[in-house]
Structure 1
């Protein structure tokens, strides 16, 4: 091979910052310049860059995906930096065009059906780099090139671990032109997928361990394995750690044998190791596999603690709800037994308010945190409030404009009381003596700021004042509750005013306390 070196920053492979569009380009924008790419082509490229980190990490090299734009220029569509070694490129080169002196080499690589190796060593910053090109072929079409930029300094003094890693990365890389990588039948179910730096094992075609990195050996030591892994069948090493009644994931045998691109988890000795199998293929079929390992014992322990905490919180809300419903039932029974109509009405009002708080806790008991879907909760609460306040022959409808969204309990409970009091007030006083009525609740929320407007087409404020009903002056308990919560809890304001088309309009301006703390 004839090798020559180009020097100077001006000859760097991506020295020219020629942006193909205004602003920072991204992967999707670059692909959009190729109308000849169909949906399958784009999906294949997305699948590739979604899984090529393992090649960069194993190879100790930066990766660049190069495609031709609509004008035929070679453009960097995506880049990948290794996490196992210092990157060659601290800058973002997505959207950059290749310099003119590389066009011939790129054309030759695009025409190749196998990995194409450059005969020129180039400089990237102060590093000497060797480029290798893997044509990305799919459905008989070459979509682009994956450029592997290898810093020659990383190849000077490699030990066994580095050599095995580089060789494994090379085998995965050479699968790209054959359409064998990315995997078409990959099944990934775990949330904590293992990475190269966590530990890797190289298997031969028969499943025998050819090499295990120090981190991988430590993972199996945590599981209780004391045998020397090299030269043993990984499937035997793994299954010997399991006891008779231990759970066995269906995917575990496939991972331990390296026969499929799947992930699984091995639990033994009160430890957990997440594993991912990546089969290696040559021109004549499967030649072995790479197994990535990660000790997730501590992660699983924390998850169990969080699940226990969430279950406890949900149970507390459930019990609070049950206790409040019991209090509500007692108030209802007491109201039925009293002979005083005034006392009966006051007890029913108290019962409704207790029930309102109970329904908020019902919503909180069904979530894993202290946040509730307030739109769902308030819809049920206000429907209940209308049903309790209306007479038998009345029909009052409610319309919602906008959404409250998710809301912490700290804000949900007082806001629920405020809105139910407003609706009850509107039904009892605004629609007294009327057969039908309509209420509109308009919501505007921006971060911590919440604006709620409640409008009804009832008799209006003048009618309420003449009949001694609850008003903005605070003469009624319900109105006092509204003013107190809005002013003290939310630091907001309440404005009562006549509705232009007739009826009453109440405007609430508030700041959500929990949202302010985010």
Structure 2
């Protein structure tokens, strides 16, 4: 299904500013659909090949219409179960839309129409931005379950009528005042209608219940909503702005209030018809459980970060103890073994230090790789004079990949410095590449470039390839990583192949030296060895 932006750019003459206004309208028009108990369809005029002079500003007759957005009510039955976005109709096929566009007014004339065997009442609301008409909203009400409306429904319908007039006058949506909380209250969560003075003229049962949980047992009707809410939430602490002003209905605002352990979310929507502010509607929602869960998650996140911080400190303490012990040893082999243990513990501590500063278990591994590479360069012998460098990006990795990968990278760098580049000048480079394995993406290769069993990712990569390359003495003729007695290489093989389900390969470089290829899956829910690289 095409998006609103695609339809506007491909089919209409609307500008970027018009598109931004329509996006703001569509992001908030669930409110109108629920208050109206009706489906909403947004029609905009089709692009004219050569607009007549004086009609290019959208004020003249339209040659046809295209539906660019659709919304169904959550408070009543839908009139259009099928999707109509992208539908094109010629001029004259939707008479009420043509009239609303031509006469720049809300059109409610006509008897109910019968579509798909159900009676539907059609209304058309012109959409205006400033002095410019952008389109028409078709409001379709399913009348199959028509009955005598309750007071709640009458309040909904009156509020919907006022809101529709604001759209026709270009006063809704509010410029720069889009809903800014995670989830703004909906009509069904609770609705309060205010008069010009900010007093309650109607409160839905859900709204009344929400205020009872805050500690107000009486009926809200006739009360000043701002004064009542301020009294309930008075903690003795200074507030940024008085709730009385916030809930007066003079400006669109969103706020959360808390009292007696309950948290309520409030959204104020002024109602301005013509040039007169007639009152406001206030949507309210009890979010106590949501905020309790948010606080629990924040507490858990803080606890996890503190654990990582303490683990890092403990690992650094262990490394310091091993370093002290190494200085006391007179046996070179024992001192070397302890120095290697210090480096291994240090690489794990780097990961936990990074995790202690992140809100989740995802790590920007580029920083860790740079620190591991720097650490390897610092402990290299002065005779080698090798400065390792990194090419490419590791990107963000999950913690279960980052920890073993950091240890493996430390071992490979140290092995290259001690054996491949011992007592000679040379270069040591770490190359990182994230890619999408062929057949591993549900979205397919897209526009990526194929490379022998690999597809460069256009979206999220599924594998990571790391190459540690040097131009040193190269591998011994009889080298076999599976039978080597090197503890460091055995650790690397266990981590990459056994723990991460990846692939480890050692190759001689044609120009001299060695390159080690590490290829690991990033989807650790499906760990398995990667396909052999040609």
- Shared fold, TM over 0.5: yes
> Which residue of structure 2 aligns with residue 20 of structure 1?
none
TM-aligned CA deviation for residue 433 of structure 1: 2.1
Residue 471 of structure 2 contacts residue 514 of structure 2 at CA under 8 Å; is this kept in 1? Answer: yes
Q: Quick one: distance in 1 between partners of 2:398 and 2:431?
A: 20
Preserved CA contact (<8 Å) 2:500 2:524? no
CA separation in 2, counterparts of 1:506 and 1:356? 19
- Structure-2 separation of matches of 1:278 and 1:457: 69
Displacement of 1:305 after TM fit? 0.8
| Equivalent runs, 1:424-503 vs 2, <5 Å | 424-446=414-436, 449-462=463-476, 473-503=483-513
Distance in 2 between residues matched to 1:192 and 1:237, nearest whole Å:
24
Question: 1:342 is matched with which residue: 320, 328, 333?
Answer: 333
Report how far residue 485 of structure 1 moved.
1.5
Contact 2:126/2:137 (8 A) holds in 1: yes
- CA deviation after TM superposition for structure 1 residue 192, in Å: 2.8
Cα distance in 2, alignment partners of residues 497 and 52 from structure 1: 62
Unaligned residue ranges in structure 2 (runs of 5+): 49-62, 437-460, 528-534
CA RMSD of aligned residues (A): 2.3
Query: Which residue of the other structure, out of 39, 43, 46, is the alignment partner of 1:69?
Result: 46
- Secondary structure at the residue paired with 2:269? strand
**2:406 — aligned with what?**
416
CA shift digits 1:384-419 (9 cap, x unpaired): 222223527713231222x43332322221111111
Task: Tell me which of 167, 177, 181 is aligned to 2:168.
Answer: 177
CA contact (8 A) 1:168 1:290 kept: yes
How far does the alpha carbon of each residue in 1:31-86 deviate from its partner, in whole angstroms, 9 at most, with x for none?
Answer: 01356322211111111111111000111111110011224321111111111112
| CA distances 1:356-378 after superposition (whole Å, capped 9, x unpaired) | 11111111111222222223222
Looking at structure 1, the residues matched to 463 and 428 of structure 2 have their Cα atoms a distance apart, in angstroms, of: 26
483-492 vs 167-176, which deviates more? 483-492
Does 1:398 pair with 2:408? no
Matches within 5 A, 1:5-404: 24-33=1-10, 36-71=13-48, 72-98=63-89, 101-153=92-144, 155-186=146-177, 188-245=179-236, 248=239, 250=241, 252-391=243-382, 394-401=385-392, 403-404=393-394
Question: What is the TM-score of this pair, normalised by structure 2?
Answer: 0.86
Name the CA distance, whole Å, in 1 between partners of 2:96 and 2:107: 9
> For the Cα contact (< 8 Å) 1:418–1:485, is it kept in 2?
yes
Q: Deviations over 1:417-443 (max 9, x none)?
A: 111111111122222222341313232
**Per the alignment, do residues 392 and 38 of structure 1 end up closer, same or farther by CA in structure 2, a change over 3 Å counting?**
farther
Distance 1:49 1:409 in 2: 39
CA distance in 1: counterparts of 2:375 and 2:22, whole angstroms: 53
Deviation at 1:508, TM superposition (A): 2.3
356-365 vs 449-458, which deviates more?
A: 449-458
- Structure 1 residues 332-341 or 211-220, which shifts more? 332-341
- Shift in Å at residue 87 of structure 1? 1.6
User: Does the 8 Å contact 2:384/2:421 carry over to 1?
Assistant: no
Distance 1:301 1:281, change over 3 A: same
Are 2:482 and 1:505 equivalent residues in the alignment? no
Q: Is the 8 A contact 2:203 2:221 kept in 1?
A: yes
SS at match of 1:170: helix
Aligned residue-pair number? 489
Distance in 1 between residues matched to 2:145 and 2:192, nearest whole Å = 21
Q: Cα distance 1:266–1:392, how it changes in 2: closer, same or farther (>3 A)?
A: farther
C-alpha deviation, 1:512, in angstroms: 4.7
> For 2:380 and 2:276, how far apart are their aligned partners in 1?
75
TM-score with structure 1 length normalisation?
Answer: 0.89
Name structure 1 gaps, 5 residues minimum: 1-23
Which region of structure 1 is more displaced relative to structure 2, 260-269 or 246-255?
246-255
SS at match of 1:33: helix
Asked if structure 2 preserves the Cα contact closer than 8 Å seen for 1:118 and 1:130, the reply is no
Does the 8 Å CA contact 1:363/1:372 hold for their aligned counterparts?
yes
**Contact 2:421 / 2:472 at 8 angstroms: preserved in 1?**
yes
